[in-house]
């Protein structure tokens, strides 16, 4: 288990979210941290990334695999509602201390937005 510092940037046409110097844990290829009351878990595999964002109200799972479209779920817990989410990964680059993903997001079959997600980490 390693304590790390992450810096990330997620942006689209409509929004941008930056995280700077956030403390996280890296263990067995998994990064875990908390962001505004949301638990974030990122699983780094050889050619694939799985992102889970969860709190008391919702759970969102996204999977990224280069040039593939993957269907996952967005669960609204209080309502017991599951929304199908598709991620179409246009580009995925994973290196020793970070990754970059370009993807399109579709909810219930409708295009939502295009995103760029960059995350880098270093030892604490």
**Can you tell me the distance from the alpha carbon of 94 to that of 66, in angstroms, rounded to the nearest whole number?**
10
CA end-to-end span of the chain, whole Å? 12
Three-state secondary structure readout of 70-106: EEEEEEECCCCEEEEEEEEEEEEEEECCEEEEEEEEE
Instruction: Give the global pTM.
Output: 0.94
Q: Which range of residues forms the domain containing residue 23?
A: 2-123
Mean pLDDT in residue range 2-14: 94
Structure tokens at 58: 């919702």
> Into how many domains does the chain fold?
1
Residue 14 has a pLDDT of 85
42-75 per-position pLDDT tens digit: 999 999 999 999 999 999 999 999 999 999 999 9
CATH of the domain at 52: 2.40.128.20
């Amino acid at each position: 288990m390693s304590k790390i510092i992450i810096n990330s940037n997620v942006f689209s046409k409509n929004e941008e979210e930056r995280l700077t110097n956030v403390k996280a844990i890296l263990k067995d290829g998994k990064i875990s941290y908390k962001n505004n009351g949301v638990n974030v878990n990122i699983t780094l595999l050889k050619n694939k990334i799985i992102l889970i964002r969860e709190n008391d109200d919702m759970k969102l799972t996204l999977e990224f695999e280069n040039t593939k479209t993957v269907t996952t779920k967005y669960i609204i817990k209080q309502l017991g509602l599951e929304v199908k989410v598709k991620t179409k990964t246009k580009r995925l680059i994973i290196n020793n201390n970070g990754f970059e993903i370009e993807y399109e997001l579709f909810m219930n079959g409708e295009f939502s937005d295009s995103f760029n997600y960059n995350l880098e980490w270093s030892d604490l």
